[in-house]
Amino acid sequence: MISKGPSYFIAGALAGVLLATVGFTWFVRGLNTPGAAGGAGHVVLKLAHGLDQQHPVHLAMEVFAQRVAEKSAGALQIEIIPNGQLGSETECLEQVQHGALAMTKVSAAPLESFIPEFAVFGMPYLFRSEQHNWDVLDGPIGRELLLKGESAGLRGLCYYDAGARSFYTVDKPILKPDDLKGLKIRVQESPTSMEMVEALGGSPTPISFGELYTALQQKMVVGAENNPPSFYSNRHFEVCKHYSLDEHARVPDILMISPRVWDQLPPPMQAWLQEAADESADYQRQIWREQTEEVLAAVVDKGVAIHRPDQAAFAAKAAPMLAKYDGTPLGDLIRRIKEVP
C-alpha cells in the first residue's frame, strides 16, 4: 500500500525555504545539460529508460514521479522519457555518469561493465527462491550494492522486480541443458550472461533488445532469455513458440541517479526521492506478480507451449561457473549471499 506523504502545506513551506535559500543555481549554471533544470520555483529531474509505457516498471516510475511531486508540493518533479528515446540502457547510463541525464532505469546486467560487483546477478541459480532474492536485496547486501557505483557516477535508489529469466525458443523446446547445445541464444551485453549460457551449453550472442524481434524472426538467433512480462510486452511470442521456465537467474532492474545531481539536492529532497523510490518499488512488486500470471496465460492462448523443466539439472550444469570464483572478491559476495537465511 502506498503511504500518504507530508501535508502540502508543510512540504510547500519547506520547499519554499529550500528554493529561497539554495536557489538551485547548480542546476541552471553548473550543469548546463538536459539532465536537470531549475526555474519557475521548481526543479525537474529527467528520467529516461527503454521500456514501453505499459510495462510494470514504467508504471512504477509513474508512481515514483507522482509521489515525489506530492511530497515536495511540486517543488521537485520527475520527467519520464520512455521507449529508448534518449538511447539504449548503456547510453543512458553513460549520460547519467556525465551528468547529461539525472536518472535512468537499467537492468543489473549491463551495470557490471560499470560496477564489477553487479556480475553477481548473472550467476545462475545463486538465489534459492524469490523470497531469498528479496531477503538479500532488501537487506544490507542489497543496500551496499546500490551505493557501490557512486565512484563511477552511478547511485542506486531501489530495485524493481524483473522476475526470473528463462529460455524461449523459436521451434525447439529447452527441456534439459543438453537441448541448448549449439543453439544461438541472445544475451544481454554482459560478460556474465554470456558465460552463463556457455556454461549451460549454448552459444551466446549479444544483441540489442530493440533488435531482438527481427533477429528471432530472421533466425539470426533461435532463442533468448527473459522474464514473462518482457516476453509478452515485446511480442516475442509471435516468433518463439516454446517458453521453458528454467528460471536460471534473477536480474533486477535498478533505478539510478547521478551522484552529481544527488549531492546538490538538500537533505529533505534526497529523503523525498528515496521514500518515493521505495514506495514505487513496493507497488511494482505487487503488479509484477499479477502481470506475470496474466501474461503466461495470455501467451498460451497465442499458441506458446509453456514447459517446466527440472531446474536441478540446470543448476548442476551451471555449478562449476560459480565455484570458479571461490577465493575472489566476487566469490566472497556469492558466499555472503548464499549465507543469507
Q: What is the separation of C-alpha 182 from the centre of its chain, rounded to a whole number of angstroms?
A: 29
pLDDT score of 30:
33
Nearest to 173 by CA among 249, 247, 241: 241
- Asked whether the predicted pLDDT for residue 187 surpasses 60, the reply is yes
- Output the DSSP codes for 234-290: TTGGGT--EEEEEEEE---EEEEE-HHHHHHS-HHHHHHHHHHHHHHHHHHHHHHHH
Percent of the chain's residues with pLDDT above 90? 81
| Band (209; pLDDT cuts 50, 70, 90) | confident
Nearest-angstrom CA–CA distance, 192 and 175 = 22
pLDDT in tens, 148-169: 999 999 999 999 999 999 999 9
Nearest to 33 by CA among 201, 258, 245: 258
pLDDT in tens, 93-147: 999 999 899 999 999 988 998 999 999 999 999 999 999 999 999 999 999 999 9
- In the chain, alpha helices (H): 8-22, 25, 56-71, 89-97, 108-111, 130-137, 140-147, 191-199, 212-217, 228-233, 259-264, 267-301, 311-323, 329-339
Beta strands 42-48 and 253-257, pairing class: unpaired
pLDDT score of 35:
54
Q: Where does residue 186 fall: left (phi above 0), alpha (psi -120 to 50 degrees), or beta otherwise? A: beta
Percent of the chain's residues with pLDDT above 70? 88
**Which pTM does this prediction carry?**
0.83
| Band (38; pLDDT cuts 50, 70, 90) | low
Q: Where does residue 325 fall: left (phi above 0), alpha (psi -120 to 50 degrees), or beta otherwise? A: alpha
- Asked whether the predicted pLDDT for residue 36 surpasses 90, the reply is no
Q: Which three cell numbers stand for residue 216?
A: 528471432
pLDDT score of 41:
61
Distances (CA, A) of 26 to 104, 138, 222: 20, 33, 49
- Asked whether the predicted pLDDT for residue 67 surpasses 80, the reply is yes
- Output the DSSP codes for 277-327: HHHHHHHHHHHHHHHHHHHHHHHHHTTPEEE---HHHHHHHHHHHHHTTTT
pLDDT in tens, 68-88: 999 999 999 999 999 999 998
Mean model confidence pLDDT for the chain = 89
3-state SS class at 164 = coil
Report yes or no: 187 and 166 within 8 Å, Cβ to Cβ.
no
CB atoms within 10 A of CB 28: 14
